[in-house]
Chains A and B, each alone.
Chain A
Amino acid sequence: MNSKEFLEILSNSSGVSGYEYRIKDKIISEFNKYSDEIKTDNLGNVIAVKKGNLNKNKDRIKIMLAAHMDEIGLVITAIEEDGFLRFATIGGIDPRTLLGQEVLVHGKKDLFGIIGAKPPHLQEESERNNPVKLEDMYIDLGLKKEDILDLIKIGDSITIKRNLIKLQGNRVAGKALDDRAGIVTLYECIKKLHKLNHYSDIYFVSTVQEEVGCRGATTSAYSINPDIGIAIDVGFASTPELPKEDTLNMGKGPGITLGGNIHPGLRKKLVEIGKEYNIPFQLEVEPGPTGTDARAIQITRQGIPTLCISIPLRYMHTSVEVIDLKDIENTAKLLAFFVTSISNENLEGLLCY
């Protein structure tokens, strides 16, 4: 499967934080083709391992690559007498992005619905000038309560219904590209490793619950206990309303994060690899903890040297996130060449402060 096909499957699938069981099989079936071992842990993280082929000893370095499979979404909180549903958000959702969306309610089966609210002409002028509040919105399934009760229940997850949209060039728009684009990057990376030799065991981890506090990375990093941890997530790409210095350019390669969350020696190596293999990259500055799985990995056990790589993405946490497929390809390439460059011989030097 190529990266666009896999991204389309993952973006169109649902897996809200805590409900990743809905998407994990699609990830397992693809990674299974290229990994030596694959397992799901207690929280639901999918861990695929590709063992090093250059070092036959047992003391192989462990490198953990993490991308999160969960997405922001909604959850049913009430079923009204007239069959309309009330809901709450999971993860960081701007309520302004919800009005007038088509949704899928994931009950016994997926039910199509619409997010509605009191129409503008029935609103007071003060209401009309302000965003519609989350508590004033509802989901319209076009069904009566008695028809609904057998199919769905309070606590079922809801996602916006959006099929991946092909834009011009290599760009696509859709929901949950944060961070399914990261999962696809891991997938492209593991495919590349089949054609390359490497000393280390590479753990490809599709983590859960990143959007609500990087919880999957916390437990998976503990159990793997890697020598190096790398989070592959999305980064803010430039748009007119954002300051240039806070953003990455679309199509210009992955963002390599700099700052306290990042091991300086490893980061230097990563930059060298980018230059050596002529892979375009950009720098992204985050002095404090990144809001990514890299944060959770860094403070696992006695501390783990960590990197964070960002795929440029526009309109983060809307249902029309835009990415450039070229950036996925370049990120995967950078990752693959980086992990193959790490050996038992050079690691100590790279990690030396």
Chain B
Amino acid sequence: MLLKRLTEASGVSGNEKEVRDIIIEEIKEYVDNIQVDKIGNVIAYKRGKKDSPRLMITAHMDEVGFIITDINDSGLLKFTTVGGIDHRILVSKSVKVGKKQIPGVIGAKPIHLQKKGERLKTLSLDQLYIDIGVNSKEEAEDLVSIGDYITFYSEYVGFGNDLIKAKALDNRVGCNLLIDLLKSNTDLSFYAVFTVMEEIGLVGAGPAAYTVEPDISIILEGTLCSDGPDTEEHLIPTKLKQGPAISLLDRTTLFNIDFRKYIVNIAEKNGIPYQFRKTSFGGNDSGKIHQAKSGSTTATISVPCRYIHSPISVMAKEDYKNTCKLLKSILSEIEKGDF
């Protein structure tokens, strides 16, 4: 299954190769042109019957993770985070290190030996390290090096009522949507762009938009969903199983109102459930894309994911299906020429 392969692949920001290779392999037969640009973005073009407006659909390939900063004398690995990770999620987890995917664990001081009050404090990065089971720096250096990237170790699991648990659903779910779209029959030509390094500051999107020069862009994402207990209704950004989330605004973009209404109309006309992403928190590649060159229209459509930026993000299969349906409907509407 493609989403399993995509989420289990390692693709920390700046080290997207494994994910990029899977994507290229998947899409090459379905596109007319494909290039990897100078910073690692995949820019593919799929020709349809109609070329305008110039449409770009993007999804970022990278995920949050870690990088080795030092190896100590006893062979334990010091690390720092790449992208936004709540440090409180790290303790008592397993990870995979470097190209060889060496298994490691992030342990913690035994509760028995903690001083009074220690448990009330958050463990900081400088207290944490990764144990791969070696005795010395030399043994460790045979296997890993400073600068090696590290991902959470988390398998793709189906559970509950048609839910999926995996790491990196943000944003392999967007990659998967875009791949599915390329594989489907669409009459409108479009650029499919898989960007690098979104999680460390929207790095790839600007240069990609500069190259493609889109009139309209749609950014596909896996986004914040917190609909657990104790959350007041007005604070819930998105809910699971309520359909694709259409962004209103975030810290990087005030999304084009006409284009958003246009998308909402399409969803309603086709009976596709949708919701708004009701928080200004966070940002995505749109921030760079809508400001590239002389500027352009953008929208973000996301699959809601609980617990993003952790090893155990969760999404609903039905939200994926409805997002896919909405995207296809948008493409056929734009092709009819009414936007």
Q: Which of B123-131, B177-185, B207-215, B257-265 contacts A (4 or more CB under 8 A)?
A: B123-131
A142 to chain B: which residues have CB within 8 Å? 159-161, 163, 314
Query: Within residues 208 to 234 of chain B, which ones have a CB less than 8 A from any CB in chain A?
Result: 224, 226, 228-231
Q: Which of B195-203, B269-277, B303-311 contacts A (4 or more CB under 8 A)?
A: B303-311
The number of chain A residues with a CB under 8 A from chain B is: 67
Report the minimum CB–CB distance from A151 to chain B (whole Å).
Answer: 11
B113 to chain A: which residues have CB within 8 Å? 236, 242, 246
Q: Mark B8-46, 1 if CB is under 8 A from A, else 0.
A: 000000000000000000000000000000000000000
Report the minimum CB–CB distance from A223 to chain B (whole Å).
Answer: 29
Asked if B143 lies at the interface with its beta carbon under 8 angstroms from chain A, I say: yes
A250 to chain B: which residues have CB within 8 Å? 135
B231 and A122 form a contact (CB under 8 A):
yes
B92 and A97 form a contact (CB under 8 A):
yes
A118 and B122 form a contact (CB under 8 A):
no
- C-alpha gap A236/B110 in the complex (Å): 8
Query: Within residues 298 to 353 of chain A, which ones have a CB less than 8 A from any CB in chain B?
Result: 314-322
A73 to chain B: which residues have CB within 8 Å? none
A238 to chain B: which residues have CB within 8 Å? 74
Known: A118-B230, A166-B103. A92 touches B159 (CB 8 A): no
B92 to chain A: which residues have CB within 8 Å? 97-98, 101, 160, 315, 318-320
- Name the CB-closest residue of A to B225: A119
Query: Within residues 63 to 122 of chain A, which ones have a CB less than 8 A from any CB in chain B?
Result: 80, 82, 84, 92-102, 111-114, 116-122
B93 and A112 form a contact (CB under 8 A):
no
A140 to chain B: which residues have CB within 8 Å? 160, 228, 306, 314
B103 to chain A: which residues have CB within 8 Å? 165-167, 173
- C-alpha gap A255/B304 in the complex (Å): 51
- C-alpha gap A171/B314 in the complex (Å): 31
- C-alpha gap A121/B74 in the complex (Å): 37
A125 to chain B: which residues have CB within 8 Å? none
Asked if A132 lies at the interface with its beta carbon under 8 angstroms from chain B, I say: yes
Query: Within residues 108 to 148 of chain A, which ones have a CB less than 8 A from any CB in chain B?
Result: 111-114, 116-122, 128-132, 136, 138, 140-144, 147
Asked if B94 lies at the interface with its beta carbon under 8 angstroms from chain A, I say: yes
A240 and B307 form a contact (CB under 8 A):
no
A320 to chain B: which residues have CB within 8 Å? 92-94, 105-107
- Name the CB-closest residue of A to B152: A100
B159 and A113 form a contact (CB under 8 A):
yes
A143 and B160 form a contact (CB under 8 A):
yes
- C-alpha gap A140/B312 in the complex (Å): 11
Asked if B120 lies at the interface with its beta carbon under 8 angstroms from chain A, I say: yes
- C-alpha gap A121/B143 in the complex (Å): 37
- C-alpha gap A117/B86 in the complex (Å): 12
Give the A-B contact count at a CB cut-off of 8 A.
Answer: 177
A246 to chain B: which residues have CB within 8 Å? 113
Asked if B108 lies at the interface with its beta carbon under 8 angstroms from chain A, I say: yes
The 8 Å CB contact of A96, one of B123, B157, B231, B235, is B123
B107 to chain A: which residues have CB within 8 Å? 239, 314-315, 318, 320-322
The 8 Å CB contact of A131, one of B72, B88, B94, is B88
B229 and A168 form a contact (CB under 8 A):
no
Known: A122-B231, A140-B228, A167-B132. A100 touches B112 (CB 8 A): no
Query: Within residues 79 to 126 of chain B, which ones have a CB less than 8 A from any CB in chain A?
Result: 86, 88-89, 91-94, 102-114, 119-123
Q: Mark B271-310, 1 if CB is under 8 A from A, else 0.
A: 0000000010110000000000000000000000011001
Known: A99-B89, A114-B314, A121-B224. A168 touches B134 (CB 8 A): yes
A118 to chain B: which residues have CB within 8 Å? 226, 228, 230-231
Report the minimum CB–CB distance from B149 to chain A (whole Å).
Answer: 19
Asked if B165 lies at the interface with its beta carbon under 8 angstroms from chain A, I say: yes
- C-alpha gap A143/B282 in the complex (Å): 28
B268 to chain A: which residues have CB within 8 Å? none
Asked if A251 lies at the interface with its beta carbon under 8 angstroms from chain B, I say: yes
The 8 Å CB contact of B108, one of A80, A82, A143, A318, is A318
- C-alpha gap A129/B121 in the complex (Å): 8
B72 and A240 form a contact (CB under 8 A):
yes
- C-alpha gap A101/B89 in the complex (Å): 9
B133 and A173 form a contact (CB under 8 A):
yes
A122 to chain B: which residues have CB within 8 Å? 226, 231, 235
Asked if B139 lies at the interface with its beta carbon under 8 angstroms from chain A, I say: yes
- C-alpha gap A319/B105 in the complex (Å): 9
- Name the CB-closest residue of A to B129: A240
B109 to chain A: which residues have CB within 8 Å? 239, 241-242
Asked if B188 lies at the interface with its beta carbon under 8 angstroms from chain A, I say: no
CB-defined A-B contacts under 8 Å, sample of 12: A82-B228, A97-B91, A100-B310, A114-B307, A138-B229, A141-B159, A167-B133, A172-B133, A173-B103, A236-B113, A314-B107, A318-B108
B residues with a Cβ closer than 8 A to A are 72, 74, 76, 86, 88-89, 91-94, 102-114, 119-123, 127, 129, 131-135, 139, 143, 153-154, 157, 159-161, 163, 165, 224, 226, 228-231, 235, 279, 281-282, 306-307, 310-312, 314
